[in-house]
Amino acid sequence: MSEWTEGQKVALVTGANKGIGRGVAERLAELGMTVLLGARDPRRGEEAAEALRAAGGDVRAVTLDVTDPATVRDVAGQIEEAFGRLDVLVNNAGITGSGQVSPQDAHDQVPSTVDLDMVRAVFETNVFGVIALTNAVLPLLRRSPEPRVVNVSSHAASLTITSDPEGPLVALLPSAAYSPSKTALNALTVQYANELRKDGILVNAVAPGFVDTDSNDHTGFLTVAEGAAVVVRLATLGADGPTAGFFGEEGSLPW
């Protein structure tokens, strides 16, 4: 692990021991950032960080469960003590519902029969966890000369796309949990962006696309690197970059 220098950017990526989060962590490290790889499981987090360090990146595992206030406070304290600021926050940690996205899981989320406890659990991670962590590290982001926040959303968050009876997601079953949680995340993104615009903190939502990950039982057609690319692009925006936007690799997405 390399020594951190004052001019080196610091990024925190949640849910980063695998999938898109790991891909984002890897690319940010390749760009020269010190990356804090957040993972709920300390062992898996350290294994992922060790692999990325072996490839030459300055990657450090931190134990972080965004639904656990104690770990959220602890990570914010660790960043404060070690670096004194945070330059990039990627809110990637998220859950789909009851395990992987199998046909049964999709049926479990149909609004008329959904289990409210499952809906609450999805929102706890995908929405409330984002608020908790963002607020905990916001003082650290304010100390950065170029602070960036990226919330990992989904094309399924788009009301425009999902309400189109002939749209690209027409095959998806109606969802009362995952899709609405990502729609709420998009709304939250806009509100944070509006509040923090005056401070130069750019806040955007990103839909990585249908990426081959555990969350969809590896049915996605994009590689992790392809999915991570748009997240990294928004995490490394210049001062004239957008804020309060929703983007995919194809460009700006409809709300």
Whole-number Å distance between alpha carbons of 147 and 196:
10
178 catalytic? Reply is yes
Whole-number Å distance between alpha carbons of 178 and 154:
9
CATH at 30: 3.40.50.720
Which residues, other chains included, contact 216 with Cβ-Cβ below 8 Å and sequence gap of 6+? 96, 100, 101, 210
112-119 long-range contacts, CB within 8 A, separation 24+ = 114/176, 114/177, 118/177, 119/176, 119/177, 119/180
In a domain, 221, yes or no: yes
Element (H, E) at 151: strand 148-152
Catalytic residue among 123, 178, 192, 247: 178
Question: pLDDT 10s per residue in the chain (255 long)?
Answer: 567 677 799 999 999 999 899 999 999 999 999 999 999 999 999 999 999 999 999 999 999 999 999 999 999 999 999 999 999 999 999 999 855 434 445 568 999 999 999 999 999 999 999 999 999 999 999 999 999 999 999 999 999 999 999 888 878 889 999 999 999 999 999 999 999 999 999 999 999 976 545 554 544 445 767 878 999 999 999 999 999 999 998 999 999
Please tell me the pTM assigned to this model: 0.92
Domain count, the chain: 1
In a domain, 1, yes or no: no
In a domain, 5, yes or no: no
In a domain, 4, yes or no: no
In a domain, 126, yes or no: yes
Residue 74's domain comprises: 10-252
In a domain, 176, yes or no: yes
